[in-house]
């Protein structure tokens, strides 16, 4: 498991299946935390909440994310239809704000520069 700059007093994010662990600042989005740690998180719209490319599955700690706002829910339903209805585990990483420890699954998350794991 690769651990990047973690501190015990900050929310911890475990990203699967890459098994990257990073810390997040309170209120930061999942994607913001990843990018701040020089990780690539798949996106098409650049974090505007309209493409769903950043979609991830919350494995645990769902209660440690701020609830999805109106625009996030609207995008999820528009892009995913019934799959998104009532499934609070599906979140947009560019919109989901962290308040505590969370484990997510998102394929394609990886260090964006080769030396980040050194
Ligand atoms: S990056 Fe496009 S919806 Fe999140």
Specify the CATH number for the domain of residue 68. Answer: 3.10.20.30
**Which has the closest alpha carbon to 110: 41, 33, 51, 56?**
41
- Closest atom of ligand 1 to 92 CA is 4
On whether residue 79 sits in a domain, the answer given is yes
pLDDT digits (tens, 9 = 90+) for 36-90: 999 999 999 999 999 999 999 999 999 999 999 999 999 999 999 988 888 989 9
- Closest atom of ligand 1 to 75 CA is 3
54 CA to middle of ligand 1, Å?
5
Q: Which domain holds residue 62?
A: 2-111
On whether residue 93 sits in a domain, the answer given is yes
On whether residue 118 sits in a domain, the answer given is no
| pLDDT bracket for residue 9 (50, 70, 90) | confident
φ, ψ of residue 84 to 5 degrees: the values are -90, -20
On whether residue 117 sits in a domain, the answer given is no
Q: What is the pTM of this model?
A: 0.89
CA-angle at 89, arms to 46 and 64, nearest 5°: 85
Average pLDDT, the chain: 91
Q: How many domains are there within the chain?
A: 1
On whether residue 116 sits in a domain, the answer given is no
């Amino acid at each position: 498991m690769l651990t990047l700059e973690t501190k015990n007093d900050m929310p911890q994010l475990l990203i699967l299946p890459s098994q990257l662990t990073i810390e997040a600042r309170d209120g930061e989005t999942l994607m913001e935390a990843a990018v701040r740690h020089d990780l690539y998180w798949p996106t098409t719209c650049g974090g505007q909440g309209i493409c769903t490319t950043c979609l991830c599955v919350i494995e645990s700690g769902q209660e440690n994310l701020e609830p999805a706002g109106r625009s996030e829910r609207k995008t999820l339903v528009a892009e995913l239809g019934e799959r998104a209805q009532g499934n609070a585990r599906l979140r947009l990483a560019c919109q989901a704000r962290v308040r505590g420890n969370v484990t997510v699954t998102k394929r394609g998350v990886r260090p964006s520069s080769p030396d980040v794991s050194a």
